[in-house]
Structure 1
Amino acid sequence: MASITVEKPPAAVKMSVSKENRYIIKEANTRQELDDILEVIWAANYKPYEPFVQLFFPVLGYTEAHREAAIMESKERFWSQHQADPSSHWYYAFDTVSGQNVGCAQWVISERNLFAAGVPNLTAPWWPEGECRDFCESILNQVYQPRASWMTRPHCALNWLAVRPSHRLRGVGSLLMDVGISRADGLNLECWMEASTMGKPLYEKFGFRSLLKLAFDNERIDASDEWRKCAHEMTPPPIFAMWRPKKGVWKSEAGEQTKLPWHLGTA
C-alpha cells in the first residue's frame, strides 16, 4: 500500500492531562512497543467484552495456554502488517507513574485512492478454514463497505483506539486523538473511522460526525449450527461510520455546508 511521505514526529510528545503531566504519547517503532500495544488492546476489549475482539483474535480453546497462543499469534500478525505498511502509525500513551503503556491508537495515512479497483474482499486467515472464518469475513466486509465506497481520496483513518480500563476517563483517549488529528490537519486530510457506541461521544468532540449506523446481517439460508453459534457469540453491536472533513470544517465562512464524501468524487 502506498503512503504519503511525512516527517516523523519526535519520539515522545509530552501532552498534559493533569497537573503532573502524567502521560506521554510516543510513536511505536520497535517490536516490543507493538507487543505492549497488543496487550492493551486485549485488556481493553475484555472489559467490557467486545464481540469484535473474537473476530480479530480468536481463542481456539478454553485454557490459559490457548489464550496465550492467541495473544502471541496476534502480536506476530500485527507486527508483520505494520512493517509491511508504511502508512501505518501506532501511538501509545505511557504512564510515567506506573511505567506502563495504558492506551494506544493506530492512525493510517493514505495519499491515493486505495479503492480504485473497487471494494476489496477482506479475508481472515488467522481463523482456521471453515464457517467461523466465513462468518468473520462476512462481518469484516460489512464493516469496510462504507469506507471503501466513500473514502476514495487521500485520508487519515483511525483503525484502533484502546485504553486500559484502569485509566479510562483520564484524558488518555483524547491525547491519542490529538496526535492523529494534528497530523491529519497538518496534511489537510479528511478523516474516517468505524466507531462503537462507547467511543462515539469522544470522536464527536474532535469534529467527527456519524454518516451511517450499520447493523450486521448475520442471516444465512440453511445456516448450520456452527454458523448460528458464531452469530450468537460474535455478532457485534451496531457501529457508526464516522467522517471528519478537512480541518474539521463542516461549514464555510460563507455558510455553505461542506460536501459529504459521496459528493466529493475520487482522488
Structure 2
Amino acid sequence: MEPEPKTYRVNEAKTRQEMDEIMDVIWAANHLPYEPFVQLFFPVLGYHPADREAAIAESKERFWKNHQADPSSHWYYVRDSETDLTVGCAQWELHLQNPFAEGPPNLRAPWWPDGEYREFCELILNQVYTPRTQKMTKPHVALNWMAVHPSYRRLGIGTSLMRAGIATANAHDVEAWMEASAMGRPLYEKHGFTSVVEIQFRTEKDGASDIWRRCEHEMKPASVHAMWRPRKGIHDSA
C-alpha cells in the first residue's frame, strides 16, 4: 500500500459541525463529475439557488440524525492539516451480529415527497441493498459512503479512508462489504475486495408515465458491483 499522506489526518466524526463538513464534501464530490445516484439521496426540489441550499440543509439534518440513531455508524473524515479543511469522508458500519435477523429491510425515501419520484428512488435503493441482505447475515463491516473533494483526488485520501475501515474489520476479525461504482472499484480491489455480483437496475414499468420516464432518464444509475472482502483479506486459493 502507498504511504499515508503526511499533510492529511483521519478522524472519526463526533460532532454536528464535523458531519456538516462531511456533507459538503459529499455534495461537491458527486457533482464533479455529476453522479445520477446523488439525486436519489439529495433531491433539489426547484430551480433556484435557494432550493439547492434548502436541499443541502435538509441532508445535513437528516444524516446527522441518522448517524446519532445508528450505533453501527462510524463516519471518518480526512482533514488537510495545512488548511484545516475537510477533504474526504467515508461511512463504515460495524455489525457484530446479523443486522438482517428479522429479514431484509424495506428501504424508504421520506426525503422525497409522495409520488413517482419517491417510488423510483425506493425501487433503486432496495435493488442496491438486496445482495447485502442475502450475503451478509453475519458480523461484518460495510462501506456505505466514500467521497473525496474534487480538488484533492489522487492524493491517497481514499486509501487512508479505506485503511480506517479495514483496520476495524481486522480488529474484529470480520468480513467486509460495499456497493461500488465503476470509479471506485479499482481502489477497493487494491484493498482486497472482489466483485461478487453486478447490480443492473431494472426500472421497466407497464404504462409508465412521463414522470417515470423522466426518472429513468435523469436518475437511473449505471450498474454497480457488490464487493466483498474475506476476514483478514485472506482469499481461499483452493
The TM tier, using the shorter chain, reads over 0.9
Residue of structure 1 in register with 2:4 after alignment: 17
Residue 17 (structure 1) shift:
3.3
1:155–1:190 CA contact under 8 A, matched in 2: yes
Residue 116 (structure 1) shift:
1.7
1:16–1:22 CA contact under 8 A, matched in 2: no
Q: 88, 94, 98: which is aligned to 1:103?
A: 88
C-alpha separation in 1, matches of 2:165 and 2:4: 17
Query: Counterpart of 1:17 in structure 2: which amino acid?
Result: E
Q: 32, 41, 45: which is aligned to 2:26?
A: 41
Residue 117 (structure 1) shift:
2.1
Find the structure with the greater CA-based Rg: 1
Q: 138, 141, 155: which is aligned to 1:170?
A: 155
Q: How does 1:72-221 map to 2 (within 5 A)?
A: 72-221=57-206
Residue 126 (structure 1) shift:
0.3
Residue of structure 2 in register with 1:68 after alignment: 53
C-alpha separation in 2, matches of 1:183 and 1:118: 25
Residue of structure 2 in register with 1:231 after alignment: 216
Superposed CA deviations along residues 216-266 of structure 1, whole A, max 9, x for unmatched, are: 011101011001001100000000000001000102xxx53xxxxxxxxxx
Query: Counterpart of 1:77 in structure 2: which amino acid?
Result: R
Residue 16 (structure 1) shift:
5.5
Query: Counterpart of 1:151 in structure 2: which amino acid?
Result: M
Residue of structure 1 in register with 2:230 after alignment: 245
Query: Counterpart of 2:165 in structure 1: which amino acid?
Result: G
Query: Counterpart of 1:136 in structure 2: which amino acid?
Result: C
Structure with bigger RCO (C-alpha 8 Å, 6+ apart): 2
Using the size of structure 1 for normalisation, the TM-score is 0.87
Residue 121 (structure 1) shift:
0.8
C-alpha separation in 2, matches of 1:167 and 1:97: 13
Is there any run of 5+ residues in structure 1 with no aligned partner, and where? Answer: 1-14, 257-267
Superposed CA deviations along residues 8-49 of structure 1, whole A, max 9, x for unmatched, are: xxxxxxx9634xx10010000000000000000000000111
C-alpha separation in 1, matches of 2:225 and 2:134: 15
Is there any run of 5+ residues in structure 2 with no aligned partner, and where? Answer: none
Query: Counterpart of 2:57 in structure 1: which amino acid?
Result: M
Query: Counterpart of 1:243 in structure 2: which amino acid?
Result: W
Using the size of structure 2 for normalisation, the TM-score is 0.98
Any runs of at least 4 consecutive aligned residues in structure 1 with deviations exceeding 6 A, and if so which? none
C-alpha separation in 1, matches of 2:13 and 2:138: 26
Q: Percent identity?
A: 60
RMSD over equivalenced CA pairs, Å: 1.1
